[in-house]
């Protein structure tokens, strides 16, 4: 298990034991983190699971691939560390990861 | 006033579950008209994930959203369903003769024994960008689609987005508008490369402007836009404009159905699990849009719901007639209907 933290827009922290290989979005949904809608269910097709990766983690998590970058065009208030949480797979080196949920998705 | 279209069943939504309902209803000689806001069948399968594989359709270890849609269209073809695309259902009422009237935003009227809501996550509608106060400008100087190009003649136009809609309208409205500024959050585009090249060429010639950034504020009065603030990598810039066209893709909303007076559960329509009927007898809801204890939003659940709903609709349309349950494998009368006899 890898520990990750999702911070809701109101500041509430959700500390989650995430299975390696699962996506950050799946963990957000399982733990009812408010603000993650994931309308398309993880198909990288809707941009409603947008998160900001905490600055200190941005490099480790890495940049989005081309398709995800395209989908981010539909997200709002996109910032340099913006990612779609359905495209971040939990792995050992993300132990301690922190992501922030934006004010709104769509 | 156009005369109403008379049919057995109106199905709202032409996604996989709406399509399969045509098959089940067709086996009992019930004719269907389908209404969908998209321009083609398939619903989310066509709009959100046409290329993505689905792994939980029985007997299909792997099938894409587009293939599933095509196969369903093939399966229901013998029943000649009538499609009405690019329309949203707006009005609904029960007629004195017990049938229902359904109205679309194009003004068509349908009369039917039963209404089946198979609208998935709701109707696809343009996404509204999170610009404070944008609502006040919508329909007056901010538009999410171009109905008539003349509306943009001699206007200072701001187009926002990076897909084909944004690029196509930049190219097409440039000769009409007084000025065109395209805004996109990055210099790369999702649009056809040819359009992107043309856009950059126009910028080189000074015919349009292109700003990298996101719109953060609007100014104007009484719904009439005067300018927009764009936050880019080098800070904020103000752009004068009196028309804006944001193209941020589509989202799903329940829409006018929410006002029909149906009992709901968290924006989903409550149904029973015998007939999948809503709180209004004769109105059914199947697929992702309904809710009952234990509900799973799976395409296969929607197929099951379509089969059971059909039994109830048959009784409603032909009261008193004996229901004969038959299998397509062995019934010659069903096979005739399917055109395989």
Q: Do B49 and A45 touch (CB under 8 A)?
A: yes
pLDDT over threshold 90, residue A105: no
Q: Are residues B60 and B208 in the same domain?
A: no
Q: Are residues B132 and B238 in the same domain?
A: yes
**How many angstroms away from the CA of A50 is the closest CA of chain B?**
14
Q: Are residues B156 and B261 in the same domain?
A: no
pLDDT one-digit tens code per residue, B209-260: 999 999 999 999 999 999 999 999 889 999 999 999 999 888 778 888 989 9
Q: What is the pLDDT of residue B130?
A: 76
Mean pLDDT of chain B: 93
Give the domain CATH number at B311: 3.50.50.60
Q: Are residues B207 and B256 in the same domain?
A: no
Q: What is the pLDDT of residue B20?
A: 98
For residue A106, being part of any structural domain is answered with no
Q: What percent of chain B has pLDDT over 70?
A: 100
Domain tally, chain A: 1
Last residue of a domain, one of B214, B229, B248: B248
Q: Give the ipTM.
A: 0.72
Q: Are residues B174 and B40 in the same domain?
A: no
Secondary structure of chain B in HEC code, one letter for each residue:
CCCCEECCEEEECCCHHHHHHHHHHHHCCCCEEEECCCCCCCCHHHHCCCCCEECCECCECCEEHHHHHHHHHHHHHHHCCEEECCCCEEEEEECCCCCEEEEECCCCEEEECEEEECCCCCEEEECCCCCCCHHHHECCCECCCCCCHHHHCCCEEEEECCCHHHHHHHHHHCCCCCEEEEEECCCCCCCCHHHHHHHHHHHHCCCCEEEECEEEEEEEECCEEEEEEEEECCEEEEEECCEEEECCCEEEECHHHHHCCCCEECCEEECCCCCCECCCCCEEECHHHEECCCCCCCHHHHHHHHHHHHHHHHHHHCCCCCCCCCCCCCCHHHHHHCCCC
Q: What is the pLDDT of residue B125?
A: 83
Nearest CA in chain A to B214: A77
Domain of A78 in residue numbering reads as 2-100
pLDDT over threshold 80, residue B309: yes
Mean per-residue pLDDT, B80-100: 95
Nearest CA in chain A to B186: A73
Q: Is B56 among the annotated ligand-binding positions?
A: no
pLDDT over threshold 90, residue A102: yes
Identify which has the larger pLDDT, B53 or B210.
Answer: B210
Q: Are residues B272 and B229 in the same domain?
A: no
Q: What is the pLDDT of residue B324?
A: 83
Last residue of a domain, one of B248, B283, B308: B248
Which candidate from B49, B214, B251 shows the least CB-CB separation from A77? B214
Q: What is the pLDDT of residue B204?
A: 97
Q: Are residues B134 and B233 in the same domain?
A: yes
pLDDT band at B1 (very low <50, low <70, confident <90, very high): low
Least confident of B108-112, B134-138, B144-148, B267-271: B144-148
Which candidate from B49, B129, B252 shows the least CB-CB separation from A76? B129
Domain of B203 in residue numbering reads as 128-248
């Amino acid at each position: 298990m890898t520990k990750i933290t999702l911070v809701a827009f109101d500041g509430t922290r959700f500390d989650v034991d995430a299975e390696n290989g699962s996506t950050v979005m799946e963990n957000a949904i399982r733990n009812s983190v408010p603000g993650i809608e994931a309308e398309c269910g993880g198909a990288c097709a809707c941009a409603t699971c947008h998160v900001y990766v905490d600055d200190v983690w941005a490099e480790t998590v890495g940049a989005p691939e081309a398709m995800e970058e395209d989908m981010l065009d539909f997200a709002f208030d996109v910032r340099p560390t913006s990612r779609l949480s359905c495209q971040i797979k939990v792995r050992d080196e993300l132990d301690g990861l922190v992501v922030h949920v934006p004010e709104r998705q769509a | 006033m156009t005369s109403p279209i008379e049919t057995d069943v109106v199905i709202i939504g032409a996604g996989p579950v709406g399509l399969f309902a045509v098959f089940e209803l067709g086996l009992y000689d019930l004719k269907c008209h389908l209404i969908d806001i998209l321009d083609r069948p398939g619903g989310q399968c066509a709009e959100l994930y046409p290329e993505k594989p689905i792994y939980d359709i029985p007997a299909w270890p792997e099938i894409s959203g587009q293939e599933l849609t095509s196969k369903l269209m093939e399966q229901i073809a013998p029943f000649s369903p009538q499609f009405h695309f690019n329309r949203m259902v707006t009005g609904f009422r029960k007629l004195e003769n017990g049938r229902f009237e359904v109205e679309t935003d194009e003004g068509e009227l349908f009369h039917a024994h039963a209404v089946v809501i198979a609208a998935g996550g709701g109707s696809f509608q343009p996404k509204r960008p999170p610009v404070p106060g944008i609502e006040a400008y919508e329909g007056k100087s901010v538009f999410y689609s171009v109905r008539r190009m003349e509306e943009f003649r001699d206007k200072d136009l701001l187009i926002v987005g990076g897909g084909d809609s944004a690029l196509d309208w930049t190219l097409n409205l440039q000769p009409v508008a007084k000025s065109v500024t395209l805004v996109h959050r990055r210099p790369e585009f999702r649009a056809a490369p040819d359009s992107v090249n043309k856009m950059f060429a126009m910028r080189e010639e000074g015919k349009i402007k292109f700003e990298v950034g996101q719109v953060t504020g609007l100014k104007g009065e009484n719904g009439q836009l005067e300018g927009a603030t764009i936050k880019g990598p080098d800070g904020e810039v103000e752009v004068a404009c009196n028309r804006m066209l944001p193209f941020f893709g589509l989202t799903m909303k329940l829409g006018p159905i929410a006002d029909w007076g149906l009992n709901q559960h968290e924006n989903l329509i409550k149904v029973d699990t015998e007939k999948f009927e809503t709180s209004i007898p004769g109105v059914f809801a199947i697929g992702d849009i309904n809710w009952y204890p234990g509900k799973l939003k799976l395409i296969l659940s929607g197929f099951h719901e379509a089969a059971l709903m059909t039994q109830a609709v048959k009784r409603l349309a032909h009261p008193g007639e004996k229901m004969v349950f038959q299998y397509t494998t062995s019934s010659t009368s069903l096979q005739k209907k399917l055109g395989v006899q």
